């Protein structure tokens, strides 16, 4: 009888602590970690399946920002035609010609992008297939070759850069086409410039959920700078990080504003 009691008490204590620890883990915030904390757990690897043979179809109400043919929707930082390469239905970063910006500016959107890191592997960590997709020119979802290439979790492919690692690592091999399907909600400010609602983002990497409506703590970057009031709309930026990353099939759907 005594043994049964001891067993039951141990069992319930174990159950309690497991639940408690799980809740604690779940409640971890960005600020529990240093920027680029290498102690942060590596997201588990998920095989998303093979890349589709063709670019995915575009919804009828989407604004197509790149269909593989020209830079009509894009400028460089001088407002000129981007110096990136276009061939075979994709654009490719030309190192040191600078990041490029959508001419149209957006607030709340669904954004779809296909991208591929170089098939020929060069460099490692952040130096392998680095680029990025920025909302409103400020909030980066990282593009990186994270297939068999360890880096700090908050800087790997599909991370909200320096803030949130993806829930899982759904990367495909270098050279293969990958996709981001994303929902972005712009931050809201009161008339005095104080933050009323943080920006939020949901991201599917290769159809796998990697961010579920996470609140951004400010513009992405190593300084973790706080929000500064900005316009309701801003350009999408694609990053020149000196690697020959390719993009194709970029479209956006404007969303109704958040009500809160």
Q: Does 155 bind Mg ion (CB under 5 A)?
A: no
Minimum CB distance to Mg ion smaller for 206 or for 239: 239
Span interacting with Mg ion, options 23-31, 49-57, 130-138, 246-254, rule CB under 5 A: 130-138
Minimum CB distance to Mg ion smaller for 241 or for 253: 241
Contact mark string toward Mg ion, 18..47, x via CB under 5 A: ------------------------------
Least separation in angstroms between residue 196's CB and Mg ion is 28
Are the CB atoms for 178 and 205 separated by under 8 Å? yes
Minimum CB distance to Mg ion smaller for 179 or for 239: 239
Span interacting with Mg ion, options 44-52, 79-87, 122-130, 187-195, rule CB under 5 A: 122-130
Are the CB atoms for 167 and 201 separated by under 8 Å? no
Q: Does 166 bind Mg ion (CB under 5 A)?
A: no
- Tokens read off for 171: 């990367």
The total of other beta-carbon atoms located within 10 Å of residue 93's CB is 28
Number of residues binding to Mg ion, judged by CB under 5 A: 3
Phi, psi of 226 (to 5 degrees): -70, 165
- Tokens read off for 122: 């060069």
Helices within 219-260 (DSSP H only): none
In terms of Cβ atoms closer than 10 Å to its own Cβ (0-12, 13-18, 19+), residue 190 is: exposed
Among 48, 212, 229, 237, which Cα is nearest to 142's?
A: 237
Span interacting with Mg ion, options 6-14, 208-216, 228-236, 238-246, rule CB under 5 A: 238-246
Are the CB atoms for 29 and 220 separated by under 8 Å? no
Least separation in angstroms between residue 160's CB and Mg ion is 11
Determine the residue with CB nearest Mg ion: 132
Q: What is the largest CA-CA distance in the chain?
A: 83
Q: How far apart are CA 198 and CA 217, in angstroms?
A: 7
Determine which residue in the list 132, 187, 218, 235 makes contact with Mg ion, applying CB under 5 A. Answer: 132
Q: Does 235 bind Mg ion (CB under 5 A)?
A: no
Least separation in angstroms between residue 127's CB and Mg ion is 11
Residues interacting with Mg ion, by CB under 5 A? 130, 132, 239
């Amino acid at each position: 009888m005594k043994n049964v009691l001891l067993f039951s008490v141990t069992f319930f204590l174990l159950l309690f602590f497991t639940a408690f620890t799980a809740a604690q883990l779940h409640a971890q915030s960005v600020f529990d970690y240093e920027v680029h904390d290498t102690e942060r757990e590596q997201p588990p690897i998920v095989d998303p399946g093979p890349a589709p043979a063709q670019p995915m179809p575009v919804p009828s109400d989407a604004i197509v920002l790149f269909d593989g043919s020209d830079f009509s929707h894009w400028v460089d930082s001088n407002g000129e035609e981007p110096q990136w390469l276009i061939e075979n239905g994709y654009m490719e970063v030309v190192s040191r010609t600078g990041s490029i910006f959508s001419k149209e500016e957006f607030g709340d959107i669904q954004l779809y992008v296909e991208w591929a890191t170089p098939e020929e592997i060069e460099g490692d960590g952040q130096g392998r297939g680095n680029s990025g997709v920025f909302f409103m020119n400020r909030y980066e979802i990282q593009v990186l070759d994270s297939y068999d290439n360890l880096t700090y979790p908050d800087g790997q492919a599909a991370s909200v850069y320096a803030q949130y690692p993806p829930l899982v690592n759904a990367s495909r091999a270098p050279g293969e086409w990958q996709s981001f399907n994303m929902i972005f909600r712009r931050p809201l400010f009161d008339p005095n410039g104080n933050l009323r609602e943080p920006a939020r983002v949901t991201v599917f990497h290769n159809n796998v959920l990697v961010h579920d409506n996470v609140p951004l703590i400010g513009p992405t970057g190593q300084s973790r700078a706080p929000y500064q009031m900005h316009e309701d709309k801003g350009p999408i930026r694609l990053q020149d990080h000196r690697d020959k990353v390719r993009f194709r099939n970029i479209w956006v759907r404007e969303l109704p504003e958040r009500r809160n």
